[in-house]
Amino acid sequence: MLTSIGLTAFLAVLAAASPLRLRSPYAVKESHPVPRKWSRVGPAPADHVINLQIGLKQGNFDELERHLYEGTYSSKSGDYH
Amino acid sequence: MNDLVKPSDAALGLVHSWLEDNGVPTSNCKHSPAKDWIKVSLSVNAIENLLDTQYSVFEHVEGGYLVRAPEWSLPEHLHEHITAIQPTTSFFSPQKLGRTFKEVLDISSDTPPPSTNDPPRNTDPAIKAACNASLVTPLCLRTLYGTLNYTVQSADKNSIGLNDFLGESNNRSDTKNFLHKYRLDAETGADLFKVQIIANGNDEQTQENATELAAGKDMEGNLDSETILSMSFPTPLIAYSTGGSPPFTPDLLTPTNTNEPYLEWLNFVLNQTDVPHVISTSYADDEQSVPFSYAQSVCSGFGQLGARGVTLFFGSGDSGVGPEGDCVSNDGTNASTFLAMFPTSCPFITSVGATKFIPEIVATDGSNDFVSGGGFSRYFARPLWQDAVVVPYVKALGTQFSGLYNASGRAYPDLAAQGYHYSTIWNGSLHPLDGTSASTPTVASIFSLVNDHLIANNKSAMGFLNPWLYSVGYKGFMDVVNGSAIGCGTTGFPAKEGWDAVTGFGTPWFPSLKDLALNVSATVVTR
């Protein structure tokens, strides 16, 4: 219980104050095998510019996805909107 | 919609802090409307530090280069907040290889088999007069699928979109020649369609040079614009041309474009308030060439568009259950497997297979190894609305192909249309083309006309189509029962009575579909 109060307080500080940075060690997030028809030919040029797309966990997509999977969300399932 | 997909403020704050710690100010970040995607342009060197990874240049056996990192890391406290980062592990970026159409090499080598037991539509003298299996024209398609006598009523409130990737564009001059030849009253459509450039996409309208001609540049694009305008004019057409993955020349060290085209397009379109009700896309790659996180992110974006009233059609692939010799898993076990295709395996889009001849059978063409694609996703579970037809189909297969496919996966295609020997004008002359790339704009056009009818009756457009398709809409399709998705050294999934994993419910009959969509009693098509 004490731990959880402490953690809550810590997180509250974290949310409120910008100078406090949460840091943690790096760990592999994703690894995917290179498809068989592709082979490495060399290192990428260091100054090559890439548009990096970072996807954040969506707050409540599960609910929409459930409706999509179950077919309860469909413009023709009764409700025109 | 944005509320559903918005990440928590805390998560967003942690990600911004991490980027700032790595020298990336928040002011350099572009956010999607729901802030579920952050886009930032960085050098390979900077990203390598940010993700504790190494980028390499990869070459495809058939040519083409990509800059990718097959493994990447994050600080542990961010693992739960970040679902995907690309371009890293996704090799989804077909050059020539992924263009799902095939140019017919010899149009005289194929003759339709003798037809037996013709269903009523197939003995219609108007169809027999309009259709010649060696060269499918707009008149044939409009007669066969019942749109010929329909008059567009809602052009001011409706629109249809198509996607160009990989440097493709839609040549106005060729499109105009095509419409002049095959649908004179739609000729102005070639001047009127809009082009939306995304991430340095291409809209070149000048004469192709020798290299571009050799590569068949704009064949795919022209097939799309010519088919759609000839079937749905005067419904406004918008062509999205998204850059990414053109030839990368590693020894020149020039900062070429290695963007991830689907994410670029999705995030652009999700950011628009006005999106066409129907969008046709004729590009695909092996599902296993992308990581699950990427497939899920892209598919969820498609789901958001569906929920906003946009119907997305994708070709089901052009190699049956997989090209022979390539049907091996990518997970290191080298197990034999059918190859599912993405994005057509996403349950939130409508997947389109190809047919040929009249009566229609599964489209195949020995001259260019084209076989209409079909199968089951390894990534996405079978949605509830597919159970009623897919479970019996799988059961009837029994142990056939057991272990080669995911019997509990999302099954595709959902439906089909002609995709064989389409007349296409390219570089000023006629080129008959095959592929689900031909079927997809055809089906998209027909559903755009269904939307036109709905809007004229003060109803909203179809939107996410599949639950309706599997519960009501299937009655407006003509069953295809002959042929199979030949591939991987097997006969592949067979066409059967009712739904099957190579033609879905079959091909559309517009007069029934427009009535079914309006919830009025329709003449159901029977064989």
Predicted ipTM of the assembly: 0.82
Which of B404, B405, B416 minimizes the C-alpha distance to B377? B405
Tell whether B461 lies on the interface with A, counting CB pairs under 8 A.
yes
- Judge if the upstream peptide bond of residue B112 is cis by omega within 30 degrees of 0: no
Cβ-Cβ contacts under 8 Å, B59 against chain A: 38-39, 41
Token pair for B175: 């499109």
Tell me: the pLDDT tens digits for A19-33? 456 788 999 999 999
Q: B293 CB near a chain A CB, below 8 Å?
A: yes
Task: Look at residue B165 in the predicted model and tell me its pLDDT.
Answer: 86
- CB distance from A17 to chain B under 8 Å? no
The Cα B424–Cα B117 span in angstroms is 32
Nearest to A27 among B7, B41, B76 (CB): B76
Q: Which pLDDT does position B257 carry in this prediction? A: 54
Q: Do A44 and B461 touch (CB under 8 A)?
A: no
The answer to whether A29 contacts B82, with C-beta atoms less than 8 Å apart, is yes
Whole-angstrom CA distances from A21 to A58, B8, B35, B40 are 23, 17, 21, 21
CB B247 within 8 A of CB B257: no
| B52 contact A CB<8A | yes
Q: Do A81 and B460 touch (CB under 8 A)?
A: yes
B145: tokens are 């699928």
Asked if B75 and A53 come within 8 Å (Cβ–Cβ), the reply is no
With CB atoms and an 8 Å threshold, state whether B199 touches A58: no
Residues of B in contact with A64 (CB under 8 A): 1, 4-5, 303-304, 307
pLDDT score recorded for residue B119 = 45
Give the A window 36-65 contacts with B, CB below 8 Å.
36-61, 63-65
pLDDT at res. B114: 39
Is residue B224 annotated as part of the catalytic site, yes or no?
Answer: yes
State which residue of chain B sits closest to A11, comparing Cα positions. Answer: B10
Neighbours of B183 (CB within 10 A): 19
Give the residue from chain B lying closest to A43, CA to CA: B56
pLDDT value for B195: 96
Considering only CA atoms, give the Rg of chain B. 22
For residue B246, say if its preceding peptide bond is cis, omega within 30 degrees of 0: no
For B36-85, the pLDDT digits (tens) are 999 999 999 999 999 999 999 988 887 778 889 999 999 999 999 999 99
Beta bridge partners of B499: none
With CB atoms and an 8 Å threshold, state whether B464 touches A74: yes
For residue B20, indicate whether it is catalytic.
no
Query: Looking up tokens 């057509």, which residue turns up?
Result: B344
Asked whether the beta carbons of residue B67 and residue A61 sit closer than 8 angstroms, the reply is no
For B467-522, write each residue's pLDDT tens digit: 999 999 999 999 999 999 999 999 999 999 999 999 999 999 999 999 999 986 66
Cβ distance B4 to A25 less than 8 Å, yes or no, reads no
Q: Which residue of B has its CA nearest to A54?
A: B85
Query: Is-contact B499 B474, C-beta < 8 A?
Result: yes
User: Which among B519, B442, B439 is positioned nearest to B476, based on CA atoms?
Assistant: B519
Which candidate, B280, B299, B302, B465, places its Cα nearest to that of B379?
B299
Alpha carbons B274 and B253: distance in angstroms, whole number: 39
Helical ranges in B199-253 per DSSP H: 210-214, 219-232
Chain A residues close to B86, C-beta within 8 Å:
52-53, 55
Query: What's at B14, amino acid-wise?
Result: L
Residue (of B346, B412, B336, B422) closest to B373 by Cα position: B412
**Through-space distance between the first and last CA atoms of chain B, rounded to whole angstroms:** 42
Query: Which chain B positions have a beta carbon within 8 Å of A10's beta carbon?
Result: none
Cα–Cα distance between A54 and B92 in angstroms, integer? Answer: 17
Q: Which residues pair with B422 in a beta bridge?
A: B136, B433
B91, A34: Cβ pair inside 8 Å?
A: yes
Q: Which residues of chain B have pLDDT under 50?
A: 95-100, 107-119, 246-255, 527
Give per-residue pLDDT as tens, A6-64.
455 444 444 444 445 678 899 999 999 999 889 999 999 998 888 899 999 987 878 88
First to last CA, chain A: 48
CA distances from B100 to B110, B273, B320, B353 (A): 21, 30, 12, 11
- Across the interface, of A35, A43, A51, the residue whose CB is closest to B41 is A51
State the pLDDT at residue B331: 84
HSE toward the beta carbon, residue B46, CA cutoff 13 A: 17
The answer, for A7 touching chain B at a CB cutoff of 8 Å, is: no
| CA–CA separation, B150 and B152 (whole Å) | 7
For residue B517, which residues of chain A lie inside 8 Å, CB to CB? 76
Neighbours of A53 (CB within 10 A): 25
Is B306's Cβ below 8 Å from some Cβ in A?
yes
Helix axes B219-232, B436-456, angle to 10 degrees: 30
The residues facing B163 across adjacent strands are B240
Spot the catalytic one: B110, B168, B187, B224: B224
- pTM score: 0.89
Closest CB to B77: pick one of A24, A65, A67. A24
State the pLDDT at residue B253: 38
Active site residue B220: yes
Query: Which tokens belong to B20?
Result: 């700032």
